[in-house]
């Protein structure tokens, strides 16, 4: 499958630029490949890395292994229920009382929405609202999966349940709450799932990352195992034991106890997901900017492009020129707020009006910059589908 510059150029030749697109043929291949990578585990779809209803539906229609959404806010979870989705695990705690109340009301009607917690203040807030609503609200606990090696923190700071002992204490305390039920356990090993092995921006740090990943896997696996055993002893069996992300599937799929793996970024497969040794997915999303000026020979300027990704500031957070080959962003200006200059040393004879294709460094954030995604299939635009933003929704 060769989707080169001419392929995309022909597909969008009648469309106004800038635009964001999804290559549906590549997306479908990624959906299939991710289902295979999961082995016999289910996959929960991380909506933050998609932010488009059409794509979410396409994933669920493709394979029965795709079960449930990991949502990123309470408002988004409520929106997804309105859109016809069910089985939603909130990936992060929420403290908005109205949203918790509305979720409890939906629980009462039989919808499955699980709230994330990692401390007593989360649990007692949910419990008090669930009590008022006369419902038992399912909750999940998030146990930290990062590793500390000789004072070096390898992972992220999220949950307050850092050790097995922290988790045990919290699980025991939860038994005192009558209107919440512990039904799920989540542990997100961000240092494996979200850190590439060969990101050029990390330079020689990549050697250390590889070493630390190897060291971290058995360490957090043991922690998760002990927490699972304790929950089994103390309460009922858990419905869901959720782990991982796009970058860690190969380890999650062989881990006993884990029932499902969360995956989001792998479907669009943005630039930061090019840098893993354990898989390669196809670049299924991007955006096209028009050349509007030519300041000098071999140098052009596009309209738009400053769609920098979140996280620690670094060169790898800016979009990467994709097609045609030979486009190079300047160090001084990068991807600009409304203008992106580039040097061109490729084979095309570019001119004002031509499109330049870029890929975002992350997956879902592209959809916060465009109202629509143009769906390209077998060489032409077959449909335009609104992003969350295009539906008037901005959750974070
Ligand atoms: C809790 C949680 N689970 C899973 C993921 C994995 O998502 P992705 O596949 O998009 O990397 C993330 C991403 O940040 C996350 O925060």
Atom 6 (ligand 1) nearest CA: 245
Predicted pLDDT at 199: 97
Which residue among 190, 276, 311 has the greatest number of ligand 1 atoms within 8 angstroms of its CB, and so is best to mutate?
190
- The class level of CATH for 285-385 reads mainly beta
pTM of this prediction? 0.97
Question: Beta strand 327-329 with 372-377: parallel, antiparallel or unpaired?
Answer: unpaired
Which residue among 68, 264, 271, 276 has the greatest number of ligand 1 atoms within 8 angstroms of its CB, and so is best to mutate?
264
- Work out whether the CA dihedral 228, 229, 230, 234 comes out positive or negative: positive
Q: Does domain 24-270 have CATH number 3.20.20.10?
A: yes
Which ligand 1 atom is nearest residue 364's CA?
10
Distance 146 CA to ligand 1 centre (A): 14
Predicted pLDDT at 373: 98
CB of 342 within 6 A of ligand 1: the answer is: no
Give the separation between CA 303 and CA 325, rounded to whole angstroms.
19
CA 348 vs. chain centroid, Å, equals 34
Which residue among 66, 71, 91 has the greatest number of ligand 1 atoms within 8 angstroms of its CB, and so is best to mutate?
91
Question: Beta strand 260-263 with 240-243: parallel, antiparallel or unpaired?
Answer: parallel
Predicted pLDDT at 204: 96
According to DSSP, the residues that pair with 341 across neighbouring strands are 301
Which ligand 1 atom is nearest residue 242's CA?
3
Which ligand 1 atom is nearest residue 246's CA?
9
Predicted pLDDT at 150: 87
Predicted pLDDT at 1: 67
Question: Is there a contact between 70 and 89 (Cβ–Cβ < 8 Å)?
Answer: yes
Distance 311 CA to ligand 1 centre (A): 13
Per-residue pLDDT of the chain (396 residues; tens, 9 = 90+): 679 999 999 999 999 999 999 999 999 999 999 999 999 999 999 999 999 999 999 999 999 999 999 999 999 999 999 999 999 999 999 999 999 999 999 999 999 999 999 999 999 999 999 999 999 999 999 999 999 998 999 999 999 999 999 999 999 999 999 999 999 999 999 999 999 999 999 999 999 999 999 999 999 999 999 999 999 998 777 999 999 999 999 999 999 999 999 999 999 999 999 999 999 999 999 999 999 999 999 999 999 999 999 999 999 999 999 999 999 999 999 999 999 999 999 999 999 999 999 999 999 999 999 999 999 999 999 999 999 999 999 999
Q: Where are the domains of the chain?
A: 24-270, 285-385
């Amino acid at each position: 499958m060769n989707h080169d510059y001419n392929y995309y150029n022909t597909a969008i030749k009648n469309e106004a630029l800038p635009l964001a697109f999804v290559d549906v043929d590549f997306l479908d291949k990624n959906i299939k490949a991710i289902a295979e990578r999961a082995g016999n585990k289910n996959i929960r779809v991380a909506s933050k890395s998609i932010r488009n209803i059409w794509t979410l539906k396409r994933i669920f229609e493709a394979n029965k292994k795709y079960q449930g959404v990991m949502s990123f806010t309470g408002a988004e979870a409520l929106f997804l229920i309105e859109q016809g989705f069910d089985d939603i695990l909130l990936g992060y705690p929420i403290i908005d009382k109205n949203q918790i109340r509305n979720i409890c009301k939906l629980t009462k009607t039989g919808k499955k929405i699980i709230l994330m917690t990692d401390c007593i203040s989360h649990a007692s807030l949910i419990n008090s609202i669930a009590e008022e609503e006369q419902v038992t609200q399912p909750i999940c606990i998030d146990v930290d999966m990062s590793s500390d090696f000789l004072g070096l923190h390898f992972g992220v700071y999220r949950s307050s349940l850092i050790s097995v002992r922290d988790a045990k204490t919290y699980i025991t305390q939860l038994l005192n709450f009558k209107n919440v039920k512990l039904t799920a356990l989540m542990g997100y090993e961000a240092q494996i799932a979200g850190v590439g092995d060969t990101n050029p921006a990390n330079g020689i740090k990549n050697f250390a990352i590889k070493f630390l990943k190897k060291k971290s896997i058995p360490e957090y696996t043991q922690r998760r195992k002990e927490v699972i055993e304790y929950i089994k002893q103390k309460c009922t069996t858990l419905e869901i034991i959720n782990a991982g992300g796009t970058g860690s599937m190969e380890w999650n799929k062989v881990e006993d106890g884990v029932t499902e793996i969360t995956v989001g970024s792998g479907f669009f497969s943005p630039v930061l997901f090019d840098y893993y040794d354990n898989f390669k997915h196809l670049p299924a999303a991007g955006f096209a900017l028009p050349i509007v000026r030519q300041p000098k020979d071999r140098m052009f300027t596009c309209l738009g492009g400053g769609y920098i990704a979140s996280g620690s500031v670094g060169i790898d957070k800016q979009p990467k020129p994709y097609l045609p080959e030979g486009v190079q962003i300047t160090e001084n200006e990068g991807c600009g707020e409304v203008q992106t200059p580039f040097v061109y040393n490729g084979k095309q004879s570019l001119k004002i009006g031509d499109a330049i294709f870029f890929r975002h460094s992350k997956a879902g954030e592209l959809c916060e910059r465009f109202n629509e995604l143009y769906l390209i299939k077998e060489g032409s635009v077959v449909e335009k589908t609104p992003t969350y933003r295009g539906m008037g929704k901005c959750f974070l």
